[in-house]
């Protein structure tokens, strides 16, 4: 039996890109979704694991110097956003994180670009990491304080979820600046 990836007149393009090849390999769309999920799971897992570790080992202790005072680990409970801004709006930040997760899940269906899959995966993993804190840490659901622990001298205290969000955001801005759309096209592409 010979199979081809060619789209026929009876078969819409979307069906051709999502139908699994006969040899069991993943389609390009499936590979991009796997990349998105892998980036999200990695970012989320590293964030959750690091928070569990630092809370159990460092909470209530003096900061631990990693590179002198330039880089230290210290547990801070943050009810606000970056730089502890908006501490009275914890529920709003929770709603924003939920909205980000929903938008990324919806957009993933239109995804045809591996770099965008990685960017959205990092954003998704980071959003889920901080959302988990907002939902399950004290003082309560939708009001939980995010665990921050990486302290850089003359800068904010942050966590790995924040780092994933920043890296995903930088990649998304770069892709936008380069004119790459979620579907992988560019304004320079013919057609």
pLDDT at 188 over 80: no
Catalytic-residue membership of 148: yes
Mean pLDDT, to the nearest integer, of 115-136? Answer: 96
Q: For residue range 138-175, what is the model confidence (pLDDT) as tens digits?
A: 988 888 899 999 999 999 899 999 999 999 999 999 99
CA atoms within 13 Å, Cβ hemisphere of 185: 6
Mean pLDDT, to the nearest integer, of 30-44? Answer: 96
Write down the mean pLDDT value for the chain: 85
pLDDT at 82 over 70: no
> What is the pLDDT at residue 184?
80
> What is the pLDDT at residue 88?
67
Q: For residue range 59-74, what is the model confidence (pLDDT) as tens digits?
A: 999 999 999 999 999 9
> What is the pLDDT at residue 142?
81
> What is the pLDDT at residue 4?
45
Catalytic-residue membership of 47: no
- The more confident residue out of 182 and 35 is 35
- The more confident residue out of 11 and 51 is 51
Query: What is the share, in percent, of the chain residues with pLDDT greater than 90?
Result: 62
Catalytic: which of 47, 133, 162, 183?
A: 162
pTM, rounded to two decimals: 0.81
Sorted by sequence, the CB contacts under 8 Å of residue 61 that are 6+ apart come out as 75
Catalytic: which of 133, 148, 183, 189?
A: 148
Q: Which residue has the tokens 């694991």?
A: 49
**Residue 67: strand pairing partners:** 71
pLDDT at 97 over 70: yes
> What is the pLDDT at residue 13?
43
Phi, psi of 100 (to 5 degrees): -60, -45
As a whole number of angstroms, the distance between CA 133 and CA 137 comes to 5
> What is the pLDDT at residue 185?
82
């Amino acid at each position: 039996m010979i199979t081809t990836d060619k789209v026929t007149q009876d078969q819409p393009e979307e069906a051709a890109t999502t139908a699994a090849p006969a040899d069991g390999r993943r389609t390009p769309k499936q590979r991009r979704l796997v990349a998105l999920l892998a980036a999200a799971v990695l970012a989320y897992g590293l964030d959750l694991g690091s928070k569990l570790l630092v809370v159990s080992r460092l909470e209530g202790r003096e900061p631990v110097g990693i590179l002198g005072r330039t880089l230290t680990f210290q547990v801070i409970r943050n009810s606000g956003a970056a730089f502890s801004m908006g501490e009275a709006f914890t529920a709003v930040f929770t709603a924003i994180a939920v909205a980000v997760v929903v938008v990324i899940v919806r957009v993933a269906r239109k995804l045809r670009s591996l770099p965008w899959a990685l960017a959205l995966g990092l954003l998704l993993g980071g959003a889920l990491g901080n959302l988990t804190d907002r939902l399950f840490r004290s003082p309560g659901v939708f009001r939980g304080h995010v665990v921050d622990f990486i302290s850089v001298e003359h800068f904010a205290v942050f966590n790995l979820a924040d780092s994933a969000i920043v890296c995903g955001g930088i990649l998304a801005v770069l892709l936008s600046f380069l004119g790459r759309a979620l579907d992988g096209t560019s304004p320079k592409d013919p057609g």
